[in-house]
Amino acid sequence: GDSVTQMEGPVTLSEEAFLTINCTYTATGYPSLFWYVQYPGEGLQLLLKATKADDKGSNKGFEATYRKETTSFHLEKGSVQVSDSAVYFCALIMQAGTALIFGKGTTLSVSS
Amino acid sequence: DSGVTQTPKHLITATGQRVTLRCSPRSGDLSVYWYQQSLDQGLQFLIQYYNGEERAKGNILERFSAQQFPDLHSELNLSSLELGDSALYFCASSVALGTGADEQYFGPGTRLTVT
């Protein structure tokens, strides 16, 4: 079935370091792809999304590009801040589907 | 603040009991979704309602049921609770059916602990 695989965490970085969190997907069709972020004690917030191949989603300095050839949607940020410490989830929705399918989440911890 | 509200925030109950979780979607949103987040299973879709009707079903146990009322709020009923039902239950809402890129807005969750 359709699924999302993301890199195991935790990821520990110093402030201003470069961030990459890998995400790959398996899908029978052409899904829309999402990154959600969960701050401690809160619900999930949509960080960015891409709906078709080669689309780049971006928000708050984070970027991810929908790569159909490698079935990937890696999350990147050029310079992380302590406030970026959270759990990041990669997810997909199939075109005719309505349920988000999530990866297991990657915990990011940024220290000053 | 996503505009989706969930009550209660925390719930502690015993095995075999029944609980009801409540969700109010964002104003104007017709779809409500329920997700379960547990340590071993991760985030899993349970069920979706659209304008009062069940729209999609995921890995929802038979002991669990949900409904969406005319005012569009939704309730998730969990019965014959087991220790393994302890989890964070999220509600999300979207404007329409949720296909493709229709964004889902998540509530803060209800943490259920079964003892």
| Closest chain A residue to the Cα of B108, Cα to Cα | A43
Cβ(A103)–Cβ(A11) under 8 Å?
Answer: no
pLDDT of residue A112: 94
Of A105, A60, A108, give the one whose Cα is nearest residue A82. Answer: A108
Q: Evaluate whether A27 touches B84 at the Cβ level (below 8 Å).
A: no
Looking at the DSSP assignment, which residues form a beta bridge with residue A44?
A38
Q: What is the mean pLDDT of residues A73-83?
A: 97
A window 36-65, beta carbon within 8 A of B: 36, 42-46, 49, 51
Best of A95, A98, A107 to disrupt the B interface by mutation (most B CBs within 10 Å)?
A: A98
Mean pLDDT (whole number) for A19-28: 95
pLDDT at A97 over 80: no
Q: How far is CA A86 from CA A13, A39, B31, B57, B82, in A?
A: 12, 5, 27, 29, 30
pLDDT at A52 over 80: yes
Mean pLDDT on A60-82: 97
Hunting for tokens 């972020």 — which residue is that? A37
Q: Is the pLDDT of residue B1 over 90?
A: no
Percentage of chain A beyond pLDDT 70 is 99
Is the CB of B107 less than 8 angstroms away from the CB of A105? no
Instruction: Using CA coordinates, name the residue in chain A closest to B40.
Output: A104
Q: What distances in angstroms separate CA B25 from CA A80, B30, B57, B73, B112, one per listed residue?
A: 32, 8, 18, 6, 20
Nearest-neighbour CA in chain B from A30: distance (Å): 9
Model confidence at A94, pLDDT cuts 50, 70, 90, reads: confident
Instruction: Tell me: pLDDT of A45 over 90.
Output: yes
Q: Do B2 and A51 touch (CB under 8 A)?
A: no
Pairing between β-strand A106-111 and β-strand A86-93 as defined by DSSP bridges: antiparallel
Tokens of B71: 């005012």
How would residue B59 be classed by pLDDT, with cut points 50, 70 and 90?
confident
Residues of B whose CB is below 8 A from A102: 42-44
Alpha carbon distances (Å) from B32 to A98, A101, B18, B85, B104: 11, 16, 21, 21, 9
Structure tokens at A8: 């195991």
What secondary structure letter does DSSP report for B96? S
Share of chain B above pLDDT 70, in %: 97
Question: Is the per-residue pLDDT at A93 higher than 80?
Answer: yes
CA distance between the termini of chain A: 41
At residue A112, what is the residue type?
Answer: S
Q: Does the pLDDT at position B98 exceed 70?
A: no
pLDDT at B60 over 90: yes
Comparing C-alpha atoms, which of B58, B56, B59 is closest to residue B68? B56
Confidence of residue B73 (pLDDT cuts 50, 70, 90): very high
Mean pLDDT, chain A, rounded, equals 93
Percent of chain B at pLDDT exceeding 90: 86
